[in-house]
Structure 1
Amino acid sequence: MPLRAAVEADLDDIISLIKALAEYEKLLHEVVLKREVMREHLFGPNPAAKVLLAETDDHKVAGFALYFTTFSTFLGRPGIWLEDLFVLPEYRKHGYGKALIQELRRLTDGRVEWAVLDWNEPSIKFYESLGAKRLEGWGTFRWDPAPSAEASSS
Structure 2
Amino acid sequence: MTNDLRVVVRPAIAADVENIYSAVRGIADVVGESHKVMSKAEDLLRHGFGPAPLFSGLVAESDLRFAGCCIYFPSFSTWLGKPGVYVQDLYVRDDFRGQGIGEKLLRRLAAVTRKNGGCYIRLSVDKENRRAQAFYSRLGLRPSNSDQIHSARGEDFEMLADADEPDQVSR
Tell me the TM-score normalised to structure 1 length.
Answer: 0.90
Among candidates 111, 123, 130, match of residue 139 of structure 2: 130
- For 1:22, what is the secondary structure of its paired residue? helix
What is the one-letter code of the residue matched to 1:13?
Answer: N
Match of 1:140 in 2: 149
Match of 2:108 in 1: 103
Work out the number of aligned pairs and report it: 147
Q: Give unmatched runs, 5+ long, in structure 1.
A: 149-154
Runs of 4+ in 1 over 4 A off after TM superposition: none
Structure-2 separation of matches of 1:69 and 1:83 = 11
Identical columns (%):
31
Structure-1 separation of matches of 2:49 and 2:93 = 23
Deviation at 1:145, TM superposition (A): 3.8
Tell me the TM-score normalised to structure 2 length.
Answer: 0.81
Match of 1:151 in 2: none
Structure-2 separation of matches of 1:145 and 1:64 = 27
Structure-2 separation of matches of 1:102 and 1:44 = 26
- Give matches, 1:113-128, under 5 Å: 113-128=122-137
* Aligned-residue CA RMSD (Å): 1.5
Match of 2:166 in 1: none
- Give matches, 1:14-25, under 5 Å: 14-25=20-31
- Give matches, 1:1-154, under 5 Å: 1-56=7-62, 58-108=63-113, 109-146=118-155
- For the pair shown, the structure with the greater C-alpha radius of gyration is 2
Deviation at 1:101, TM superposition (A): 0.6
